[in-house]
Amino acid sequence: MAETIKTKVLIIGAGTGGYVAGIRCGQLGLDTVLVDGGDGLGGTCLNVGCIPSKAIIHAASKFETVSKAAAGGTLGITASKPAIDLAQTTAWKDGIVRKLNAGVAALLKKSKVKVIKGWANFTDAKTCTVKTADGDITISAEHVILATGSEPVELPFLKFGGDVISSTEALSLDKVPGKLVVVGGGYIGLELGIAFRKLGAEVAIVEMADRLLPLYDKALTDPVAKWLEKHGVELHLGAKAGSFEKGQLNVTTRDGAALTLKANKVLVTVGRRPRTQGWGLENMGVAMAGPFVKIDDRCATSMKNVWAVGDLTGEPMLAHKGSAQGEVVAEIIAGHNKRFDPVTIAAVCFTEPEIVSAGLTPLDVEGRDDVLTAVFPLMAIGRALALEAGDDGGFVRVLASKTDHRLLGVQAVGQHVSELSNSFAQMLEMGAVLEDVSGTIHVHPTMGEAFHEASLRALGHAIHI
């Protein structure tokens, strides 16, 4: 049965950008409808991305710890050889996702947001039809927030299906593949490749660039490369993947030679693209910026009262960026004077070891002589040594202006450094100078002391080195 709804705000997409926008709209008293046609409440991040991948990574690290204990002992602890029932691990991961799904649903209900399950198709900028299990619903709105997110890029010669999988399928496997080949050496491929190596899979990585994680400088990625080498992960850099036939992936090496890699599963992680197809974007009259929807610093598109947030709007394609944009748009619609103008959006790779980057990097300031750089190794931090996190080449690095000592960027690599990312972002957002960091009494013993010491070192008087 056909139904027609008129609303103040219509949100398309229930990922971290869309559902946060919905909750904030509801808090501000705006009549809001949220259409969820993708992965479910929470979107890619909650259902098939950030959260489930970190759950699997955590389980893999636990398994690795017990494996070390079984292989001769660690920290005086010995254990029997462990086994992994990946189906049970996946079921545990799914339980976390269901709990978070229910939490998002409850928050939306509390904020009086009407959630409609179905895929929208726009006929013009403010009107769409949603096909639901109970029939079509036509929705017209005064404001539209586009938050359709992104999807994995598929290679034409490695179509998803069967043993060629995306990160989505990798997170739902019921057993550890004997041989896993990862196509793409970015953060998604490395996070999952490392996790499956810890779980016992033989892993090979095929990357077109000459090194892994090419968006980060070599100093940050070297500890990851050393871990991969130490743990027998096969690296094929400067190489191109080809077709997958009869359990073998065809590869062209850096030198142009042909190579075949045996694989039970081929995980393709060559990037993500904005989800712009299949919902009538072409009928909305919004300007594009390449493959992305073009927005200004209010997240406004070229069409009046049509807004866009999250991966649809371009890099960095990070969940926390989408959430922040969603809040800004809700507040603008409610009449607040807001802009989306962050000093930094910190990024984390949950590799082994972890990588954090906020603000400018050495690559951004190459050739400049007005920048101070200082590095402090984690091996000089007591807490890091007590966590077995000080012997992998990890460090914290600060970049600051020589003239006024204002922080320009902070990076770190090492175990557990993801938990430092918010401190880095906060200091940059507040416009801190080196003296602000050095003058803040950091708790001992913690990993965060390395940030303090790196700032002291930039000022020429580090204590513990």
Q: Which tokens belong to 362?
A: 């050495």
Closest C-alpha to 295, from 318, 329, 345: 329
For β-strands 347-349 and 150-152, DSSP reports them as unpaired
CA distance 389 to 385: 6
Distance CA 49, CA 218 (A): 26
Amino acid at 132: T
Amino acid letter for position 79: A
Which of 143, 405, 444, 452 is the catalytic position? 444
Long-range contacts of 157-165 (CB under 8 A, 24+ apart): 157/241, 157/242, 157/243, 158/183, 158/241, 158/243, 158/244, 158/266, 158/268, 160/268, 163/244, 163/247, 163/263, 163/264, 163/265, 163/266, 164/244, 164/265, 164/266, 164/268, 165/265, 165/266, 165/267, 165/268
Phi-psi category of residue 359: left, alpha or beta, with phi > 0 → left and psi -120 to 50 → alpha: left
Residue 70, token pair as written in the block: 């079984």
> What spatial distance separates the first Cα and last Cα of the chain, rounded to whole Å?
73
Report the sign of the C-alpha dihedral through residues 253, 258, 260, 266, in that order. Answer: positive
The contacts of residue 58 (CB under 8 Å, 6+ apart) are none
Determine contact, residues 44/18, Cβ cutoff 8 Å: no
Active site residue 444: yes
- Which positions are catalytic? 444
